[in-house]
Amino acid sequence: MGKMQIECKNAALGYENHVIMKGLNFIVNQGDYLCILGENGSGKSTLIKALLNLKPQISGEIRFSKEIGKNEIGYLPQQTIVQRDFPASVREIVQSGCMNRCGLRPFYNQEEKKLASDMMQKLEITHLEKRCYRELSGGQQQRVLLARALCAARKMLLLDEPVTGLDPKATNEMYELIAKLNREDGITVIMVSHDMHAAVKYASHILHIGGRQLFFGTKPDYLKSKVGQAFLAVSGGDTDE
């Protein structure tokens, strides 16, 4: 078990007077693969915003370890409509992950450019460097965004439904890639998903939410729990998109 990176103590999330989710208690340690499960509207996106420091919690506490710090989570957001026909080269996009390293400096330096190149190599998209993002396949696009996320932070990744819209083959490749990053590079992965199958196959920990915290613990414990079995029964363990 690695060092503690995020600790969430009795946190409640929501808008000013409207609590969406309460009673959140969980810990993320270095090297964990946490899968956050929940139905649509269960407050997943609110939790993401809280973890990314975009929206403060109403009460309770969310603590980040020093090495994670604020805004140092590599984030893989869901694709937006804007991006689908966006004229940008792969390199431009990957490099934009280095933005938080620049501060007020208007240019990327050699180090940041090299970082972008290294990440493209790691995700095997170097040959696409000059290609236009909108002409890539869905799986390639996700790799590009993943490389960008890795440029922003190398310790922790937060993935928001990373396989939405991918065909089964690309979905599988994506999951394997994430698992590899987790296994070989020791990158902590937090994946938000409603794909039970993948959660069971890859995650080390499960956080199941639905207005409140339904379950948090290791995967084997989850599979034995009532919540887990109920959810498994409903989704049948298949990848329903």
Residues in touch with other proteins (CB under 8 A): 52-54, 70-73, 75, 77, 80, 82-83, 86-89, 92-93, 95-97, 99-100, 102, 106-108, 130-132, 135, 145, 148-149, 152-153, 158
Q: Comparing C-alpha atoms, which of 64, 60, 57 is closest to residue 20?
A: 57
Nearer to other proteins, 25 or 86 (CB): 86
User: SS3 for 16?
Assistant: coil
Determine the residue type at 129.
Answer: E
Q: How far is the CB of 72 from other proteins (least distance, A)?
A: 8
Nearer to other proteins, 88 or 234 (CB): 88
DSSP E strands in the chain: the ranges are 4-15, 18-29, 33-37, 59-64, 74-76, 156-160, 188-193, 205-209, 213-218
Nearer to other proteins, 90 or 214 (CB): 90
Under a CB-based contact definition with an 8 Å cutoff, are residues 207 and 42 in contact?
no
Q: How far is the CB of 50 from other proteins (least distance, A)?
A: 12
Q: How far is the CB of 57 from other proteins (least distance, A)?
A: 16
Q: How far is the CB of 24 from other proteins (least distance, A)?
A: 19
Nearer to other proteins, 17 or 87 (CB): 87
Q: How far is the CB of 91 from other proteins (least distance, A)?
A: 8
Nearer to other proteins, 86 or 229 (CB): 86
Cβ neighbours of 240 (radius 10 Å): 11
User: Is residue 172 exposed (0-12), middle (13-18) or buried (19+ Cβ within 10 Å)?
Assistant: middle
Kindly state the DSSP code that residue 77 receives in the 8-state scheme. Answer: P
Rounded CA separation 101/151 (Å): 9
Q: How far is the CB of 88 from other proteins (least distance, A)?
A: 4
Distance between start and end Cα atoms, the chain: 33
Nearer to other proteins, 162 or 228 (CB): 162
**CA angle, 134 then 199 then 3, to 5°:** 100
